[in-house]
Amino acid sequence: MVYIAAEESVVEMIGKYFFQHKAPGRGSSSARRGSVESCDDKDGSWPSADADAGLEEEQRLLHQDLTRQIECCLTEAKPSVLRCQVLLLPRNMITSVGNHILRSAADEPCGFRGASIRLYVESQDGLKSAGNIVPDQAVTPTFELSVVFKMEKEDGWHIFDSGKVLKLRPEYRLVKRKLYSSASPVIHDFS
């Protein structure tokens, strides 16, 4: 605990503290102390740049893992639920879906770890479940995200039949439902 003498003001105490505990390699000019220029990151000793880089790397890894899991779910759904041999996706669609999922999770209490993600493919007969993703099994989900992929219409809907080639449209729907609230689900349509 620090005690302040009666003749010493709080401002003087703070000034002395910063003067005595300046960062290594910084100039000792008290006139420049506290200015924006004194907080440059030329020597890399400030942790904020490393923390920002670490967060970006973590987000990149989360996104990479999420897109891989989405691809796995769709691949596993081809022979069983979708009953097709080939599933064609628009370029960068899974990357875009992953970005939107991570953005939707950003304002949640547990973030992405609290998600329960359900994948669907919309067909003529309704929705077909293409898989589920739970990012962290140790966390009770706080929200549910349903991703609804839409099939391309070519001379009507493709019939789910073995040997068929199915193509997804670039449009998809993301439905977010908070599990801890009675609020209505939020629906986003993307193209």
The string of pLDDT tens digits covering residues 154-183 is 544 445 554 588 889 999 999 999 998 888
What is the DSSP track for the chain?
-----TTS-HHHHHHHHHHHTPPTT----TTTTTSGGGG--TTS--HHHHHHHHHHHHHHHHHHHHHHHHHHHHHHHTTTTS--SEEE--TTHHHHHHHHHHHHHTTSTTGGGGEEEEEEEEETTEEEEEEEE-S-TTS--SEEEEEEEEEPPSSSPPP--TT-EEEEEEEEEEEEEETT--PPPEEEEE-
| Structure confidence by residue, pLDDT tens digits, 77-130 | 998 888 888 889 999 999 999 999 999 999 998 999 999 999 999 988 789 999
Which pLDDT tens digit goes with each residue over 4-62? 444 444 444 444 444 444 444 444 444 433 333 333 344 444 444 555 566 688 888 98
Higher pLDDT, 133 or 41: 133
Give this prediction's pTM.
Answer: 0.67
Q: What is the pLDDT of residue 26?
A: 42
